[in-house]
Amino acid sequence: MVIQGYPNPGDGLRLHLNENTGGCSPRVLEAIRHVRPADVSTYPSYRDAVLATARHFGVDPDWVLLTNGLDEGILMTAVGHIARARVCDAENIIPLPAFDPYPNSTAAVGATAVRVPPGPDFAFPTEAVIGAVTPRTRMIFLNTPNNPTGQLIPIADLARISRAAPDAVVLVDEAYIEFGGTSFIPEMASFPNVLLGRTFSKAYGLAGLRVGVLIGQPQVLDPVRAVTLPFNINGVALAALGAALSDSEFLPRYAAQVHESRERLYAACRRLGLQYWPSAANYVLVRVGDAAPFVQALAAGQIHVRDRSKDPATPGCIRMTAGIVEHTGRAIEALESAVAVRQGR
């Protein structure tokens, strides 16, 4: 039987999907407890949530489209700008390694994926991306920090690419920007072809409720709005979103935990002789060699990490979420045990 979504790894510490390992703000749970019967039985109104989100990001409400997770925003951007426009020979540029919805959404609208490999040590290939732009280019996916490497794309490079492709939609995916780096939002008034994606799944701990947002000027956002279903986010998720945005202390507190956890993971990798890449996100990419038995060994200790070794761009690698420091300590203990077993100690 084929079940949608990712398989449930079972009991243990979930470090495989970049979730918030500490959960959501207590205000979110309180808001959910106060959801009224009418909030469930009637179709939701989005006005208050859109206004609150616009205030949070400091943009005009007309620049905001709430989505069912950022995944929906990625797909609907492709639908709105390629399928709806009946573009037959579209090309979408996808720098590697890449988040799965980029090639999946490209395939869904019949476009051609133009994959651009990274530079040494996953350096972002700015010149190669610009060199790949053609009159057929309809979308460019720019993920900063990158999933799975955690590498940032410099703001100046985001701007250069956006200027080099004025007739394409440049989707700047900032799903993990709360954990490190500078947002492109302050630059967007100068770039009418840029759509910026954010999610409340990661830093805010709302992955189970599926809330994301696209931000962009109306001329680039309206074609996406036109194909997005009118009631795409449920009323419970909207109540949670408002509560999450109202808690100004939750995000900095969790981001500090992530920062310390990353440093501890780096130190453990250096001690164990494992190659890793410094990350601006809430995860660390680690090269372990033969990844499958490594992942299985960690899972046996109820520590679940992501096997990235099947991706040709990340051979021999696993990705580990960096969340609550206590959880990271448990992960490091399991990592040390797995290395010891492999070395026969």
Claim to verify: residue 234 and residue 268 sit in the same structural domain: no
Residue 275 tokens, joined: 């190659």
Q: What are phi and psi of 301, to 5 degrees?
A: -95, 15
Matching residue, tokens 């005009």: 60
- The answer to whether 265 and 319 are in contact (CB under 8 A) is no
**30 inside domain:** yes
**8 inside domain:** no
- Classify each residue of 184-206 as buried b or exposed e, where b means 16 or more C-beta atoms within 10 Å of its C-beta: bbebbeebebbbbbbbbbbbbbb
Q: Which band of pLDDT confidence, cut at 50, 70 and 90, is reported for residue 344? A: low
CA–CA separation, 272 and 289 (whole Å): 13
Q: Which structural domain, as residue segments, surrounds residue 94?
A: 26-246
What pLDDT is recorded for position 86?
87
pLDDT in tens, 63-112: 999 999 999 999 999 999 998 888 889 999 999 999 999 999 999 999 99
What pLDDT is recorded for position 250?
97
What pLDDT is recorded for position 345?
58
**54 inside domain:** yes
What pLDDT is recorded for position 267?
98
- The answer to whether 64 and 54 are in contact (CB under 8 A) is yes
What pLDDT is recorded for position 18?
96
Q: How many domains, in total, are found in the chain?
A: 2
CA–CA separation, 116 and 231 (whole Å): 36
Cα–Cα distances in Å, from 280 out to 90, 153, 181, 196, 229? 32, 11, 7, 18, 33
What pLDDT is recorded for position 155?
98
For the domain that residue 170 is a member of, what is the CATH number? 3.40.640.10
Claim to verify: residue 150 and residue 234 sit in the same structural domain: yes
- Where is the domain boundary, 201, 229, 246? 246
- Where is the domain boundary, 205, 231, 246? 246
pLDDT in tens, 154-210: 999 999 999 999 999 999 999 999 999 999 999 999 999 999 999 999 999 999 999
Predicted TM-score (pTM) of the model is: 0.95
Half-sphere exposure of 78 (CA within 13 A, CB side): 26
How large is the average pLDDT for residues 273-297? 95
Q: When comparing pLDDT for 120 and 6, which is higher? A: 120
